[in-house]
Homo-oligomer: A and B are copies of this chain.
Amino acid sequence: MDLFEAIKKRHSYRGGFEDKPVPRAHLRQIVQAGLDAPSGCNAQTPRFVIVDDPALVRTLAGMHDRNKAMQQARAFIACIIDKEPPAVYQGMSFQIEDCAAAVENMLLAITALGYGSVWVDGWLRIDGRAEIIGNMLGLPAGKCLRVLLPIGLPCEEIKPPAKKPFDQRAWFNAWEQGQ
Contacts and interface: CB of A to CB of B under 8 A. Distances in A.
Interface of A: 1-4, 6-8, 10-12, 24, 28-29, 31-38, 40, 42, 44, 46-53, 56, 80, 89-90, 92, 94, 96-101, 103-105, 107-109, 112, 119, 121-122, 125-126, 137-140, 143, 161-164, 166, 169-177
Contacts of A125: 90, 92
- Among the interface residues A12, A122, A138, A176, which one has the most CB atoms of the partner chain B within 10 A? A122
Copies in the assembly, this chain: 2
Contact of A173 (B8, B50, B163): B50
Nearest to A106: B7
Given A52-B173, A94-B121, A138-B176, 15 more contacts: A3-B112, A32-B166, A34-B170, A40-B122, A42-B163, A50-B172, A90-B125, A90-B126, A96-B97, A97-B100, A100-B104, A101-B101, A137-B174, A138-B177, A143-B175
